[in-house]
Amino acid sequence: MLLGVNIDHTATLRNARGGNDPDVVMCARVCKEYGADSITVHLREDRRHIKDEDVRAIRVLPRVKMNLEMAMTDEMQKIALELRPYAVCIVPENRKEITTEGGLEVKNQLQRVKDFVKPLVEKGINVSLFIDPDIHQVSAAAQTGAQYIELHTGRYAEAFGTDREQEVFEELKGSAVFAQNLNLTVNAGHGLTYDNVSRMHEIPNLYELNIGHSIICRAVMVGLPQAVKEMKELITK
């Protein structure tokens, strides 16, 4: 499994004081150096953490594969078509949410998603849809032209260590296998931690895990290089 590190929280910290500390671009370089296979940045409509200039600067870092997380808006599509990141992950976005809450609704707006994905794929971008582990959403995603899905692991993370863990995990695993049978490449992320990430090894052929909060929190204790290294070891063992 590959490791995608989401560095949005480094931008939140920087923005708290308005200067350039920590340097978000440097954080991306450090993550790459210590094991990140890709760097995820979520350019939100309200620019509450990552800014346009961060995306532009990370996009041109040598050997760094940037995964641009974004809402399904014309503005974001234009930015993606111009910058041509390695990957785009389309997420639902709600202004008031603290973090991405649920998966993208694909089934009930299939044509709209198809129309949004098409020019991105035509530009050579790897397009992923962030969806809930629900076979109806997965089968809709398989009809959009997107090559990837990212399964929302938030419910699994919440159920981890409780009576519901196994049931929720089976749902996640079943959705991943179902998607792979429809020729989708399957990533996963949201709420994954140093504790709950180990069960991702039980899901066959997961391609990449996208992890942010837990790694940046650990970095406060042990430093970013060590935090990334530790997670990388857990997911490649």
Told to check if 67 binds ligand PXP by CB under 6 A, we report no
User: CA-to-CA distance for 80 and 183, rounded, in angstroms?
Assistant: 24
Residues 6+ apart with CB under 8 A from 108: none
Distance of closest approach, residue 135 Cβ to ligand PXP, in angstroms: 19
- Two tokens at 164? 């519901």
| CB of 77 closer than 8 Å to CB of 119 | yes
Helix (H) or strand (E) holding 210: strand 208-211
Q: Which one of 49, 155, 190, 232 is in contact with ligand PXP (CB under 6 A)? A: 190
Distance of closest approach, residue 138 Cβ to ligand PXP, in angstroms: 15
Please tell me the count of residues contacting ligand PXP according to CB under 6 A. 19
Told to check if 211 binds ligand PXP by CB under 6 A, we report yes
Task: Assess whether 152 carries a catalytic annotation.
Answer: no
Single-letter code of the amino acid located at 84: R
Catalytic one of 9, 49, 152, 190: 190
Task: Assess whether 49 carries a catalytic annotation.
Answer: no
Told to check if 38 binds ligand PXP by CB under 6 A, we report no
Catalytic one of 42, 93, 171, 208: 42
Strands 208-211 and 185-189: parallel
Told to check if 228 binds ligand PXP by CB under 6 A, we report no
User: CA-to-CA distance for 190 and 192, rounded, in angstroms?
Assistant: 6
Distance of closest approach, residue 78 Cβ to ligand PXP, in angstroms: 20
Burial of residue 161 (CB within 10 Å: 0-12, 13-18, 19+) is exposed
**Residues designated catalytic:** 42, 69, 190
Query: For binding to ligand PXP (CB under 6 A), which residues are involved?
Result: 6, 8, 42, 69, 89, 91, 99-100, 130, 150, 189-192, 210-214
